[in-house]
Amino acid sequence: MKMIQRLLAAAAGALALATPAALAAEAGHHPADYDFSFEGPFGTFDRAQLQRGFLVYQQVCSACHSMNQLHIRNLGEEGGPFYSEEYPNPNDNPVVRAIAADYIVEDGPDEYGDMFERPGRPADRFPNPYANPQMAAAANGGAMPPDFSVIVKARHGGAEYIRSLMLGYDYEVPEDVRIGPGQYYNPYMSGGVIAMPPQLQDGLVEYADGTEATKEQMATDIAAFLAWAAEPHMEVRKKMGLMVMIYLLVLAGLLYAAYRQVWSNVKH
Amino acid sequence: MSGPSTYEPKTGVERWLDQRLPIVRLGWDSFVDFPTPRNLNYWYTFGGILTVCLMIQIVTGIVLAMHYVPHIDYAFASVERIDRDVNFGWLLRNIHANGASMFFLAVYLHMLRGLYYGSYKAPRELLWILGVVIYLLMMAAAFLGYVLPWGQMSYWGAMVITNLFGALPLIGTPITEWLWGGFSVGNATLNRFFSLHYLIPFLIAGIVGLHVWALHVPGNNNPTGLSIKTKADTLPFHPYYTVKDGFAIIVFMIIFAFFVFYWPDALGHADNYIEANALVTPAHIVPEWYLLPFYAILRAVPDKLGGVILMFGAIGVLFILPWLDTSKVRSMRYRPLGRWFFVFFVIACLGLGWCGAELPDNKVPVLGAIGLNFLWLGRILTLYYFAYFLVILPLLGFIEKPTQRPASIEESVLGKGKSDASASAAPAE
């Protein structure tokens, strides 16, 4: 029996090791470690940071990157950057309404069969910067800018990867990497070659909360915002997890006591 | 079931029902008064755990199917919609996706338990074979389910697996096209995969019924591998094992909940959050962790058909295992050599999983210094996997000298020449 116990421990260890090993294999530079507020079992999003990150998205990224799975209303939903207890329904939230109204959305057809344009509403999806993937690729040298909805989940390293990538343009190009026209070297990108030019420079945006918009600050903020965009329910998930864990641990304790009681008169 | 029924209908309604449909009697004899060896350890709790896993998958799956759209243009977005806009959809999907991993974790421990204690031997051959059928169906269900989110790994995983059938001579191409419902993995494929993914769990549930039936005829095996001889060897299932299984199930649920709430994407692949794209092949197509050992076996053979045959052979050999093991002794507890070969077998399975996760040309840590890459490690471990079943277990029965076994289950628990008066007299208090 001891042996099986040891084996099980070894198996658990091997399982734990095997997954990250497989994941790390294809990455170039490992993303730099950064202590995001939403890490760990009790981590939550920093609301001010999400707002700053959204500003970077709105003013910089959204020129090329879509965010198809998100609606503007998500910004004002519980856990979102602009959630306010005063406006549990994001359609009433003036900040969200103002953000939505800044977008021009195609709607229709109207009663005469014509498409028309109108200001955005919180219920709209974030408008796509390009009409279709082909146009997106054509406008960007053949490389379609990836959709941002779940990009943090779709990349090994998650938010830290995004942050490192945004700051990863200052490296010497190694001799064995060939950089074509319209390409840049970025060691965090798989293969080291990226079609996106460096985007961030100090002072590119002006934060409403007075935070200095350094490159590092903006890279960190956009990474945090995209982490939220990929999983708006993360805080609810962790909060519920705590309750579930407490419940299960108490139940396990009670069942163990019952087990000891039931088996107390029986040798086994 | 095992022995005469002890059910006594107490009320008129129960008597009325019992004469027409003795379903209460069936439940009573199966799960209340069922005589169960008194020495079952925690390795025997995985049957109950697996039942719970199946129920969780079916319940969460049915609700997810209400929101999922099996169409290549909408599947990915519908899964995102479940995560974002369906009430508790994120929870359902986390449970269902991680539930598959938990299901396999439990089934592997359940199978290794069976291998270690010789639970596949007479008179439990059919019980074991039904278990292997369930395992096969589980793999099919898991693979089909993994295709449904229509991410990059879904699509390319489906491509790799369905293409395996193309290796068959003559019938290969027709079979592959028949599986696809077209000439490539496409909308027809996704549709039928969804349909079959919904079907298979109910097939599994049916075979689980047979599995439990086949268990309740000979009764449980136990860590000593000895057959039940007297009533003193057993305890009624309820309350002794209901409470023990219940405790184990909750402990298992804690591990399950840890993944669901704190590490939900740990066991999946990041690429599956990229929508399927037939024009972009991922750098590294890997199956889910629970299928990695078979992937390593597949790749161990340079010939595609050979690899496919070997991979299916790795499961096929489990079907004839009851007749391959020639030892008269069931439990590895009393098999000094067999026990060690079993340990190496477990290591080989874990090692194969590791090989499946790595690129074949990558060097193995430490051993890479002598030129060992994962391809060759996979080959060596594949050889051992098959040797264990086809050479070691058949020969060991003739070579090995088993150690002294206790005379009965009762003796193994209480020591020689004693008896547990309290338990045999009134066990169910």
Domain ranges across chain A: 29-70+125-231, 233-268
Q: Does A121 touch chain B (CB under 8 A)?
A: no
Asked if B249 contacts B48 with a C-beta cutoff of 8 angstroms, the reply is: yes
The pLDDT mean for chain A works out to 90
What CA–CA distances, in Å, run from B302 to B5, B49, B170, B296, B306? 57, 39, 20, 12, 8
Residue in chain B lying closest to A73 (CA): B85
CB atoms B271 and A21 under 8 Å? no
- Contacts with A236 from chain B: Cβ below 8 Å: 90
Higher local confidence (pLDDT), B369 or A263: A263
Please report the pLDDT score of residue A77 as a whole number. Answer: 95
Give the pLDDT confidence of B372-397 residue by residue, as tens digits: 999 999 999 999 999 999 999 999 99
Distance separating alpha carbons of residues A163 and A172, to the nearest angstrom: 19
CB atoms A153 and B266 under 8 Å? no
- Contacts with B354 from chain A: Cβ below 8 Å: 14, 18, 21
pLDDT value at A250 more than 90: yes
The alpha carbon of B37 is separated from its chain's Cα centroid by a whole number of angstroms, namely: 23
Distance separating alpha carbons of residues A101 and B46, to the nearest angstrom: 56
What CA–CA distances, in Å, run from B172 to A32, A188, B159, B405? 48, 42, 14, 52
Distance separating alpha carbons of residues B231 and B424, to the nearest angstrom: 7
Residue A261 CB: number of other CB atoms within 10 A?
11
pLDDT value at B16 more than 60: yes
Give the pLDDT confidence of B278-311 residue by residue, as tens digits: 999 998 899 999 999 999 999 999 999 999 999 9
- pLDDT band of B59, cuts 50, 70, 90: very high
Q: Does A28 touch chain B (CB under 8 A)?
A: no
**Domains of chain B by range and CATH?**
23-285 (1.20.810.10), 292-404 (no CATH)
Asked if B231 contacts B419 with a C-beta cutoff of 8 angstroms, the reply is: no
ipTM of this predicted complex? 0.92
Rounded to the nearest angstrom, the minimum Cα separation between B164 and chain A is 23
pLDDT > 90 in chain B, percent: 92
Mean pLDDT, range B261-274, rounded to an integer? 95
- Contacts with A262 from chain B: Cβ below 8 Å: 239-240, 243
- Contacts with B271 from chain A: Cβ below 8 Å: 154
- pLDDT band of B420, cuts 50, 70, 90: low
CB atoms B265 and A153 under 8 Å? yes
**Which range among A37-46, B1-10, B219-228 shows the weakest confidence by mean pLDDT?**
B1-10
Verify cis geometry, omega within 30 degrees of 0, for the bond prior to B360.
no
* Cα Dmax for chain B: 78
CATH class of A29-70+125-231: mainly alpha
Mean pLDDT, range B6-13, rounded to an integer? 92
Total beta-carbon pairs less than 8 A apart between chain A and chain B: 140
Please report the pLDDT score of residue A8 as a whole number. Answer: 52
Q: What is the pTM of this model?
A: 0.92
Residue B395 CB: number of other CB atoms within 10 A?
11
Asked if B306 contacts B314 with a C-beta cutoff of 8 angstroms, the reply is: no
Mean pLDDT, range A239-260, rounded to an integer? 98
CB atoms A69 and B77 under 8 Å? yes
Give the pLDDT confidence of A104-143 residue by residue, as tens digits: 999 999 999 999 999 999 999 999 999 999 999 999 988 9
Rounded to the nearest angstrom, the minimum Cα separation between A265 and chain B is 7
Q: Which of B223, B239, B233, B216 is nearest to B119 (CA)?
A: B223
DSSP 3-state of A140:
coil
Please report the pLDDT score of residue B368 as a whole number. Answer: 80
CB atoms B350 and A10 under 8 Å? yes
